[in-house]
Structure 1
Amino acid sequence: MGNFQEKVSFIWDLADLLRGTYKRNEYQKVILPFTVLKRFDCLLEFSKEDVLETNDQYKGSVDNLEGILSQRAVDKEGNDLGFYNTSQHDFESMLADPEHIRENLEEYINSFSSDVQDIFDNFYIKNQITRLSKANLLYLLIQKFSETKIDLHPDVVSNHEMGIIFEELIRKFSEQSNEEAGEHFTPRDVVNLMTELMFVENGYHLEENDNLIKKIYDPACGTGGMLTSCEEYIYKKNNSIDVALYGQEINEEIYAICKADMLMKGMKSERIKGPSSSLSDDQLSNDKFDYMISNPPYGRKWEGDKEVVLTEAELGYEGRFGAGTPRINDGQLLFLQHMISKMKTKEKSRIAVITNGSPLFTGDAGSGESNIRKWIIENDYLEAIVGLPDQLFYNTGIKTYIWILTNEKPEERIGKVQLIDATSEFKKMRKSLGNKRHELTEKNINNILNLFNTFENTDNIKIFDNEDFGYTKVVVERPQQLNFKVDEERLENLYSVNQFNKLAESKKKDLQEKEEEINKGKQLQAKIINTLKNIPNNLVKSYNEFDKLVADEVGSLNIDIKPAFRKNIVIALSKHDDTADYVTDGKGNIKPDPNLRDTEKIPLKIDIDDYFKEEVQKYYSDAWMDRKKDKIGYEINFTRYFYKYTPPRPLEEIEQDIKKITGEIQELLKEDFGDT
């Protein structure tokens, strides 16, 4: 289409009309829905008379009028448009009646079929019509959209071309709104890479299969860019494949954009669901998909989904979240589980999803995050992770990672995970767009694909067994050995004992009674301290011996000091001492010292007893493991696997640089102030 960019530029320039009435980041609230409206107006033209006649004929006399009208709304080839309009008005007739343009436009919008009305409701177009009308801009806008330069008639602009125009407008608006763009619009270069990686078929080739139906899904579909990228990829390989795109979006306006884009491309808009969260309101709960691709929100709370998610998690693996739930401030791993739940059971499914670094390593053994990683890896879903360069997105400069998952790995990848370091594969942009300063060129994408297909260890590729990411977190205990003494320093520790402090607290509401009770408590505290000072001021290395001394003294006070309180007094007067007797319980078992308690992360492939002997008992011979507290954890410490040591510069070299810079500074000072 030779005039493609001309139409994009002309529509884009309509924003000049809005300047003053709308802020810059609000232009899309008008331009996008009116572009959709104009396209629909052009598409309806061919069968408009037939639709109106049918509506007049059957209105009020049949139950399924919408189905009948949908069959009448077709293009020149007889293909269903997927929507209709029963109004007598169109853009031309509305311009002919400028005095009633607002009323006629609202009547026109209200006459669309329900799916289109859903789109315009989520665009809040009626609010914009009111605003434009008050600013005397409505007629001018309709007039501008009726000029020949913006002719969007299907004879001039095909569905595919219209999709490109609309996508280009979305991209430009997203770039203008950098703070929000990354939430709904993934840069095209990143989408292209994800698409290519998802369709690396490892022996299964799209071009070798005819008359297939491929279902593609994005649970956080935004404007639908990832879905259409997949469709374009498949059609380039084999246009005989029937591609069905499905998605769900939570943001109302973005949902409307995506649904409208699908309709304008001649696709079934009812497959785009929303506006609601796919985590708590899965509107495609019975569907399974061949391919899934998504850029779920990073670090966003899933508090609004909490009730439904936790209820479903209680179902175990009968629900979507049986592996666990992550902390409330980041739902990325919930989206990952959700997508895995939609894999086909008897056919191959593949997933490409992009995340930040958090899902790779956040969460200790036994946490929700670790348990989810454990489930994914032990079920052999994870095929590869690609580490991308930073500064690829409009609203964040952080590094991101593409996860590739499948339920049917090729033989050589079974039980394996491939990590790819592609952090150096980028080109600096001449002009940054928000935080996006790097881009992936076609060469960069091809280089990354070559790395993926090179299934062997190199500087940028690491091949691991699934078990390599797992570890057992073992609790290591050391015996409690304490010495005891009554001196001023240790007596001060009593004020860190909760029961001791509470002696001088009061819940009385009356101020006088409150003060009296506090003073009485302070006197009791002083009495306990003075009584403890009766214990000889020498070092005791036996817990039982010192406990008896304390019991004898405080027992003489005739106050109710419970054994737990007395124990805390004894501990407050203690210090660790490797030469002291072991502290034992009533059965003579050595008690562990909670202050010396430690943990060890022991890789799954290493024998725990051998590791303990070599790494712990060699240094602490009396240490032991509390194996009842063992926890299995999984983490993917991507950076550590590709860490390259860079030795510090020699001191002589640094010293020479300092001397050189100092000399340059002195010369500059001489030029400015002359010799002094």
Structure 2
Amino acid sequence: MNETKRHQLTNANIQEKSALLWNIADTIRGLYKPHEYGEVILPFTVIKRFHDTLLPTRQAVLDELEKRKNISMKDSFLRRASGYVFYNTSPYTFDMLLADSEKIEENFRAYLSGFSENVQDVLSNFDVDVHVTKLAKNGKLFQVIQEFNKQTGYLGADKISSTDMGYIFEDLVKRFSESYNEDAGAHFTSRDIIYLMTDILIAEDKEILEAEGVSKTVYDQTMGTSQMLSAMQERLTLLDADAEVITFGQELNPKTYAIAKADTIIKGGNPDNMRLGNTLTEDYFKGYEFDYAISNPPFGIDWKSDYKAVEAEHKKGNQGRFGVGLPKKSDGQLLFLLNGISKLKDTGRMGIIHNGSALFSGAAGSGESEIRRYVIENDWLDAIIQLPNDVFYNTGISTYVWIIDKSKQPHRQGQVQLIDASNMYEKRRKAIGSKRVDISEECRELIVTAYGEFLNKEYKLDDRTVESKVFDNLDFGFNKVTIESPLKDEAGNLVLKNKKVQPDVSLRDTEDVPLTEDIDAYFEREIKPFNPDAWIDKNKTKVAYEIPFTRLFYKYVAPESTDVIAERIKVLEEEIVKSFEMLSGKDVEVDG
């Protein structure tokens, strides 16, 4: 079965299961408003996932607890008994809870308190205690547990894989976001985009990974529900069934963090690798370095409230994450680029999504330009892929995947590959928010092929095209030079100061001289013939970098000939006349 068919089957099951879970919200209608349903459905889904996963080893945990009752440090024994990195020492199951409706709140709290410490953190960030009180006070707790305990609501890891559970969480978060009129894309990135990023990230390493086996670390600095981390784990495991893939992530939103941590716990990963907090202001992975980084940070979001902490980090220079420069306060996306780079090993690779402004915003010497300069002059910018518009849930604007490589393959060194994949998509039958198109498996494979071949070439799939262009690093840099003209008095004489000709600031101009050109030669050719008295103030020269992606892929379309235009006008006139005749009942002549 190919990937598309498998995903279609999986997706059908996911939709069915998530719809079933979401419909449980009917039991709290009236007590909660529609936009609040997710506050109950999401945590109870996680609790049920934990409950069902632990059922097969429940008795073994209780036996181990009895055996070790006089030992203070029981945690490792109980984990071993459960078969997971978490456990529950409560004697209750959902069946047992429902058998005593009179004590449902008391017993359910006892059940929750039986979870290991790492799960307690998840429950705390979901505010479970608050919702249990509210449900119990209004006579709804029993009914909610009853609905979740139906046979069709089984969520054990033996029946539902971690990948599929990730899809269920993703769908529930989307439903929650839509009901709240909140940007679903703030919480997750759709799998078609993630799979494109993961496949490109491992493309250069694929042969080595298949031959030597996989032992890798992966980091997502804005992990949401951790679906990017899960996808990287999935892709690497496909190359090596015995792969050791350790994931790390940080997330600002407590509820999506709780989902990510729950997912890590279920998979047997280290939940301590999932951190809650603002990546820009709280570096919970200081000193860490990873093989891969992958993320979709917010763009177009201001970081004014983070300025004090970010500026302090900037002042550390090379000892901090942001020493290179600070972008304008209205958009902090390039800060995430710097943070990600600081977390890569010397052989590390990163895929990160940006909007168009990251390509060119900021004048010469600005924070944005200096960040681009830092990345390109270190030869870390490997490729940029333009994605189709309308591929995200929460925005229809142009977006780009930047591929950063700390140790490029020899044939890619000193160069940057740009790939225009804006037309490589399939239209969705039904839009989800702003998402109207998908990057299908067939589309993705062609984009990955274009990346791997590293050529100046067009690739076609029916009437859709992917175009690859390769540039030297220097092609994106230029010197912004200041051209001065002499100041003259009313008599036309040069104005001198300390025997130096003074510039006329009203005539001051600037020129962008490519780094591939000699500044003086450019001046003699382009400026001197038209302004013989001009000179360059070399103290004001600044190096800048920008990536004019759209201009580099612009294709000239010749205008129609006047004869063709005249013929079209004539046809339109005739149609207008016929319409008028039908309305007026009169014959009208047309000159011509």
TM-score (normalised: structure 1): 0.79
Shift of 1:219: 0.4
Structural mapping, 1:60-99, within 5 Å = 63-64=72-73, 68-74=74-80, 80-99=83-102
Shift of 1:458: 3.0
Indicate conservation of the 8 Å contact 2:496/2:502, yes or no: yes
1:552 paired residue number: none
2:486 corresponds, among 470, 475, 479, to: 479
Query: SS of the counterpart of 2:501?
Result: coil
2:36 corresponds, among 26, 35, 38, to: 26
Query: SS of the counterpart of 1:14?
Result: helix
Shift of 1:398: 0.5
Structure 1 position 193 matched with structure 2 position 199 = no
Shift of 1:312: 1.8
Query: SS of the counterpart of 1:291?
Result: strand
- Partners of 2:325 and 2:483 lie apart in 1 by 26
Change (3 A) 1:652 1:176: farther
Query: SS of the counterpart of 1:349?
Result: strand
For residues 568-602 of structure 1, the C-alpha deviation after alignment (integer angstroms, 9 at most, x for no partner) is xxxxxxxxxxxx222333x2422111111111111
- Partners of 2:562 and 2:33 lie apart in 1 by 56
Structure 1 position 362 matched with structure 2 position 361 = yes
Indicate conservation of the 8 Å contact 1:55/1:69, yes or no: no
Change (3 A) 1:179 1:128: same
Structural mapping, 1:3-14, within 5 Å = 4-5=13-14, 6-14=16-24
Indicate conservation of the 8 Å contact 2:57/2:83, yes or no: no
- Partners of 1:25 and 1:197 lie apart in 2 by 37
Change (3 A) 1:311 1:55: same
Shift of 1:177: 6.2
Change (3 A) 1:118 1:317: same
Indicate conservation of the 8 Å contact 1:175/1:433, yes or no: no
2:219 corresponds, among 217, 220, 242, to: 217
Structure 1 position 420 matched with structure 2 position 426 = no
Change (3 A) 1:261 1:203: closer
Indicate conservation of the 8 Å contact 1:477/1:626, yes or no: yes
Indicate conservation of the 8 Å contact 1:429/1:437, yes or no: yes
Structure 1 position 438 matched with structure 2 position 441 = no
2:382 paired residue number: 383
Change (3 A) 1:175 1:659: farther
1:150 paired residue number: 153
Change (3 A) 1:286 1:589: closer
Shift of 1:168: 4.6
Shift of 1:255: 0.6
Structural mapping, 1:189-588, within 5 Å = 189-201=192-204, 204-210=207-213, 212-274=214-276, 276-345=277-346, 348-458=347-457, 460-482=467-489, 541-542=490-491, 580-585=492-497, 587-588=498-499
- Partners of 2:32 and 2:570 lie apart in 1 by 57
2:546 corresponds, among 635, 638, 651, to: 635
- Partners of 2:362 and 2:71 lie apart in 1 by 60
Indicate conservation of the 8 Å contact 2:479/2:542, yes or no: yes
For residues 312-334 of structure 1, the C-alpha deviation after alignment (integer angstroms, 9 at most, x for no partner) is 21121122112111111111111
Query: SS of the counterpart of 2:568?
Result: helix
Shift of 1:423: 1.3
Indicate conservation of the 8 Å contact 1:247/1:273, yes or no: yes
1:486 paired residue number: none
Number of aligned residues: 569
Change (3 A) 1:668 1:120: farther
- Partners of 1:661 and 1:101 lie apart in 2 by 76
Indicate conservation of the 8 Å contact 2:353/2:401, yes or no: yes
Change (3 A) 1:33 1:400: same
- Partners of 2:163 and 2:555 lie apart in 1 by 47
Instruction: Name the amino acid aligned to 2:575.
Output: E
Shift of 1:117: 1.3
Change (3 A) 1:155 1:581: closer
| Superposition CA RMSD, Å | 2.5
Indicate conservation of the 8 Å contact 1:51/1:69, yes or no: no
For residues 64-107 of structure 1, the C-alpha deviation after alignment (integer angstroms, 9 at most, x for no partner) is 3xxx1442245xxx563212233343322221222332333233
Change (3 A) 1:23 1:659: farther
Instruction: Name the amino acid aligned to 1:326.
Output: P
Indicate conservation of the 8 Å contact 2:296/2:352, yes or no: yes
- Partners of 1:363 and 1:356 lie apart in 2 by 14
Change (3 A) 1:316 1:155: closer
- Partners of 1:434 and 1:674 lie apart in 2 by 49
Shift of 1:158: 5.0
For residues 198-219 of structure 1, the C-alpha deviation after alignment (integer angstroms, 9 at most, x for no partner) is 0111674311113x42101100
Shift of 1:360: 1.0
- Partners of 1:203 and 1:85 lie apart in 2 by 40
Query: SS of the counterpart of 1:287?
Result: coil
- Partners of 2:484 and 2:164 lie apart in 1 by 69
Change (3 A) 1:7 1:183: closer
The structure with the largest strand share of the pair is: 2
For residues 118-142 of structure 1, the C-alpha deviation after alignment (integer angstroms, 9 at most, x for no partner) is 1111112223333434553322111
Identity, % of aligned pairs?
42
- Partners of 2:476 and 2:361 lie apart in 1 by 13
For residues 472-527 of structure 1, the C-alpha deviation after alignment (integer angstroms, 9 at most, x for no partner) is 11111111235xxxxxxxxxxxxxxxxxxxxxxxxxxxxxxxxxxxxxxxxxxxxx
Query: SS of the counterpart of 1:428?
Result: strand
- Partners of 2:78 and 2:429 lie apart in 1 by 51
- Partners of 2:174 and 2:208 lie apart in 1 by 31
Instruction: Name the amino acid aligned to 2:469.
Output: K
- Partners of 2:480 and 2:339 lie apart in 1 by 28
Instruction: Name the amino acid aligned to 1:13.
Output: N
2:463 paired residue number: none
- Partners of 2:150 and 2:179 lie apart in 1 by 26
Indicate conservation of the 8 Å contact 2:485/2:533, yes or no: yes
Instruction: Name the amino acid aligned to 2:389.
Output: D
- Partners of 1:641 and 1:43 lie apart in 2 by 53
Query: SS of the counterpart of 2:403?
Result: strand
Shift of 1:389: 1.4
Query: SS of the counterpart of 1:409?
Result: coil
Shift of 1:157: 3.9
Shift of 1:338: 0.9
- Partners of 2:161 and 2:427 lie apart in 1 by 35
- Partners of 2:484 and 2:31 lie apart in 1 by 70
Change (3 A) 1:621 1:160: closer
Change (3 A) 1:661 1:17: farther
Shift of 1:14: 1.9
Instruction: Name the amino acid aligned to 1:584.
Output: L
1:101 corresponds, among 100, 104, 110, to: 104
TM-score (normalised: structure 2): 0.90
- Partners of 1:204 and 1:583 lie apart in 2 by 69
- Partners of 2:479 and 2:158 lie apart in 1 by 66
Instruction: Name the amino acid aligned to 1:71.
Output: F
Query: SS of the counterpart of 1:43?
Result: helix
Indicate conservation of the 8 Å contact 1:361/1:637, yes or no: yes
